[in-house]
Amino acid sequence: MKEYKPVKEGKVREVYDDGDSIIMVATDRISAFDVILKNKVTDKGRVLTQMSRFWFDYTKDIIPNHMISCDVKDMPEFFQTDEFAGRSMKVKKLDMLPIECIIRGYITGSGWQSYQENGTVCGISLPAGLVESDKLPEPIYTPTTKADLGDHDEHITFDESVEIIEKLHPGKGKEYATKLRDDTLALYKKCADYALTKGIIIADTKFEFGLDENGNVVLGDEMLTPDSSRFWPADGYKPGQSQPSFDKQFVRDWLLANPDSDYNLPQDVIDKTIAKYKEAYKLLTGKDLAW
């Protein structure tokens, strides 16, 4: 049996090269504030993979995505074990574009902090009088750079995203940047509307895109997981305060309240975190976590 080693390791995912395709494995690592925590959260990687799978299927009418299969039987023998089952996705190889496509439907987090200071979010002026967690009049697109592990992403304007892409793909900067923005808005609208019918508010999220061998823009990475999004329960939503969440905000809040934790979570926080992830998965898909 051929042994495989990751060709790339991110905060959560490990990437394996399989010739014409890639095997993406979501581990049980968890990160916050761009730091990998010392704990692992059992089954977290499976929630991420299976939730991305659900959304990729749901949105393939808007834009093609990189998913080929989540069945380890479709992967090399090395991956056909319990260790990889449920957390592995075979995907197309893409030339990933260096932009994180962030979309905000509600004002919260760093956006709320910025708005309190100067009435803007990432340089975009918003109406006066908004309160924390308010729904925005229209979702706003606030792209960032994609930082290397350990570095922080930097907010950029749409025009700056054009310039960044243009340097890599001369003559295509405006075309690709416009498609990223428009597809991000379309994906968010469709998925946020659906999630609301299942009792979940998607406050914000991020998408990543790449180019296939023909230069077509394809949705890649993960999609609308609790790691890449803010999920709030619609029941009890109340603007003017922070909201309970189904995502990593629970971990972020605990870390902020415990600055001397050395990024080491207590077991009860780990247990509550995976319970929230699984609850969100069941609400959105109508199924218990399975693979």
> For 290, which DSSP code?
-
**For the ranges 13-27, 78-92, 113-127, 247-261, which has the lowest average pLDDT?**
247-261
Looking at the structure, tell me whether residues 51 and 84 fall in a common domain. yes
Looking at the structure, tell me whether residues 158 and 38 fall in a common domain. no
Which pLDDT does position 152 carry in this prediction? 66
Q: How many domains does the chain have?
A: 2
Asked if 228 and 30 count as a contact pair (C-beta separation under 8 A), the reply is: no
148 pLDDT tier (thresholds 50, 70, 90) = low
154-158: Cβ within 8 A, 24+ apart: 155/122, 155/123, 156/99, 157/122, 157/123
153 pLDDT tier (thresholds 50, 70, 90) = confident
Mean pLDDT value across residues 65-75? 98
Looking at the structure, tell me whether residues 27 and 147 fall in a common domain. no
- Where are the alpha helices (H) located in the chain, listed in sequence order? 44-59, 109-118, 158-168, 173-197, 249-257, 267-285
Looking at the structure, tell me whether residues 205 and 163 fall in a common domain. yes
In a domain, 270, yes or no: no
Residue 31: give its domain's CATH number. Answer: 3.30.200.20
- Distance CA(75)–CA(73), nearest Å, equals 5
Domain stops at, among 58, 92, 126:
92
Looking at the structure, tell me whether residues 56 and 151 fall in a common domain. no
- Distance CA(265)–CA(267), nearest Å, equals 6
CA atoms within 13 A on the CB side of 42: 5
CB-neighbour burial class of residue 137 (10 A; exposed 0-12, middle 13-18, buried 19+): exposed
Q: Which helix (H) or strand (E) holds 104?
A: strand 99-106
> For 29, which DSSP code?
E
In a domain, 290, yes or no: no
Which pLDDT does position 291 carry in this prediction? 87
**For the ranges 141-150, 159-168, 241-250, which has the lowest average pLDDT?**
141-150
Looking at the structure, tell me whether residues 207 and 144 fall in a common domain. yes
* Res 54 pLDDT > 90: yes
Between β-strands 95-96 and 200-211, what pairing exists: parallel, antiparallel or unpaired?
antiparallel
149 pLDDT tier (thresholds 50, 70, 90) = low
Looking at the structure, tell me whether residues 117 and 236 fall in a common domain. yes
Looking at the structure, tell me whether residues 46 and 120 fall in a common domain. no
Mean pLDDT value across residues 251-271? 92
Looking at the structure, tell me whether residues 34 and 49 fall in a common domain. yes
Asked if 275 and 255 count as a contact pair (C-beta separation under 8 A), the reply is: no
Q: How many CB atoms lie within 10 A of CB 246?
A: 24
Which pLDDT does position 178 carry in this prediction? 98
Residue 191: give its domain's CATH number. Answer: 3.30.470.20
Domain stops at, among 68, 92, 116:
92
* Res 128 pLDDT > 80: yes
Residue-wise pLDDT for 166-194, tens only, equals 999 999 999 999 999 999 999 999 999 99
> For 148, which DSSP code?
P
In a domain, 284, yes or no: no
Torsion 252-253-259-261 (CA) sign? negative
- Distance CA(23)–CA(16), nearest Å, equals 5
Please state, for a pLDDT cut of 70, what percent of the chain lies above it.
98
Mean pLDDT value across residues 215-219? 97
Q: What is the pTM of this model?
A: 0.92
Residue-wise pLDDT for 20-53, tens only, equals 999 999 999 998 888 999 999 999 999 999 999 9
- Distance CA(77)–CA(73), nearest Å, equals 8
Looking at the structure, tell me whether residues 87 and 120 fall in a common domain. no
In a domain, 266, yes or no: no
Looking at the structure, tell me whether residues 178 and 39 fall in a common domain. no
Looking at the structure, tell me whether residues 73 and 148 fall in a common domain. no
In a domain, 2, yes or no: no
In a domain, 124, yes or no: yes
In a domain, 55, yes or no: yes
Which pLDDT does position 151 carry in this prediction? 58
Q: What range defines the domain where residue 77 resides? A: 8-92
In a domain, 139, yes or no: yes
Which pLDDT does position 78 carry in this prediction? 97
Torsion 174-180-183-186 (CA) sign? negative
The 3-state DSSP class for residue 131 equals: coil
The 3-state DSSP class for residue 62 equals: coil
